[in-house]
Structure 1
Amino acid sequence: MTASEPPPARAADARAAAKAFIATLVPRPAATTVQDLLLLVSELVTNAIRHAGAVTGLAFGADDTTLYVSVTDPSPERPKQRTPDLRGGTGGFGWPLITRLAKRAEIRDHSSQGKIICIEMAR
């Protein structure tokens, strides 16, 4: 996995890092895959900033069949599945979207506190 430097402070920074990573891949993934990756990265980073206060790491990787994304944050709190707020008040759409687009989502403990959310998606 290659890490972006420094960790993104905004979802737009994370999308830019993802685009730079995608530009290195040969063959390049399909346009819909790239769009899905950008959406996943935006959601992961937005959730980390909103619920954990920061992103402390962002990394990308790929093999012939899979794209990998990991987002590290300082909170040990796991994402929670909750009923989406259809009135637009409290969200609840991010984690279901992530788990739907990913072929695998894993949450790992990081150091003495914090977590890493590791995502795999079809290339």
Structure 2
Amino acid sequence: MPRNAASARATVTHLLASRIHGPAGQGLAEVVIADALLVTSELVTNAFRHGGGLTGFTAELTDEGLLLAVADASPDAPVTSPHPPRTAHVGGYGWPLVCRLAKRVSITFHPGGKRIIALVALP
């Protein structure tokens, strides 16, 4: 299990390497890799910062793309913090970003926390 977001990104980078260095002409675009790493980073960081700690992490390549499952110790769903226009604010961007970049996102709740599954398409 990753100790932090950087470790989770390293795991995903290694996993994506087979797609990046696959048969000629079938590599992934840099923006797709960046999106996958950003989603990974946001989910893991939020588990540590807001979810009471990371309790599970898996990353796998499927026919549809990169499937991430991140579990934490909080029973609370991620929230989007509305920010009034023209005000300075910090934070609140991660969850909307994950929802925008992922093809699919789901949350399952269980005793002792939740698990978020995100699918990042890999064209």
> TM (normalized to structure 1)?
0.83
What is residue 31 of structure 1 aligned with on the other side?
A: 30
1:55-66 matched pairs, under 5 angstroms: 55-66=54-65
How many angstroms does 1:84 deviate by? Answer: 4.3
Q: Tell me, yes or no, if the aligned pair for 2:102 and 2:118 is still in contact at 8 Å.
A: yes
| Unaligned 5+ runs, structure 1 | 1-6
Matched residue type, 1:109: F
Q: 1:69: how far off?
A: 0.7
CA drift of 1:28 comes to: 4.2
Q: How many angstroms does 1:61 deviate by?
A: 1.7
| TM-score between the two structures when normalised by the length of structure 2 | 0.83
State how 1:1-123 maps to structure 2 within 5 Å: 7-25=1-19, 26=22, 27-84=26-83, 87-89=88-90, 91-110=91-110, 112-123=111-122
The structure number with the bigger radius of gyration is: 2
Provide the rounded CA distance (Å) in 1 between the counterparts of 2:83 and 2:98: 14
Q: Secondary structure at the match of 2:2?
A: coil
**3-state SS of paired residue (1:64):** coil
How far apart are the structure 2 equivalents of 1:84 and 1:94?
14
Instruction: Letter of the 2:92 partner, please give it.
Output: G
Equivalenced residue count is 115
- 1:81 is paired with a residue whose SS is coil
Query: Is the partner of 1:29 in helix, strand or coil?
Result: coil
Q: Using the alignment, how far apart are the partners of 2:89 and 2:8 within structure 1?
A: 24
Taking only the aligned residue pairs, the percentage that are identical comes to 41
Task: Rate the CA distance shift 1:30–1:43 in 2: closer, same or farther, 3 A.
Answer: same
Moved runs in structure 1, 4+ residues, more than 6 A?
Answer: none
Is this contact kept in 1: 2:15–2:61, CA < 8 A?
Answer: no
**Which consecutive residues of structure 2, in runs of 5 or more, have no partner in the other structure?**
none
Instruction: Note the aligned Cα RMSD (angstroms).
Output: 1.8
